Amino acid sequence: MSGFEIERKFLVRGEDYRDQASGSIRIKQGYICSGHGKTVRVRCCDHCGYLTIKGPADALGMKRYEFEKEISLEEAEQLMALCEPGIIDKTRYLVKSPDGVHTFEVDEFYGDNAGLVMAEVELGSEEEPFEKPDFIGDEVTGDRRFHNGHLRQFPFILWRGTIPRAFRHLTLE
């Protein structure tokens, strides 16, 4: 797959997303290189892997070029050994919007990013309307702190006190 991806990111309130999820997958991802908004990422998920190249985001942080190719799990694990320090470890839950039109990908992070839960929704255009599930909170689309590549270098544990208390999970208290 290649082309432009348009996505919006949100903080998540509570844990209702788990009950609403149609499925989940554990993801470990690393970055072979990153800088100037561009990344080369490798991802291990269940029985397969992915190599992804992303270009810099637009001014709103919503749209960016993405090239992604499925690779074998063995290839992904070998590439993980080449990654920069800091692996992202998370479970991704898939939750349909209330109207059933969109799928929200809700990421629950572990390790130094534990306590952070974010949701993304991919859109066909920047103006496309979508219905939010009740657990969706503040939008963080343009906030670089919430990019996985940034979380790798500056994990949530270092700055978690800067987000509103309503979005911090009990594990942070």
Catalytic machinery residues? 31
Choose among 63, 52, 67: nearest CA to 124.
63
Q: The dihedral of CA 63, 77, 85, 156: what is its sign?
A: positive
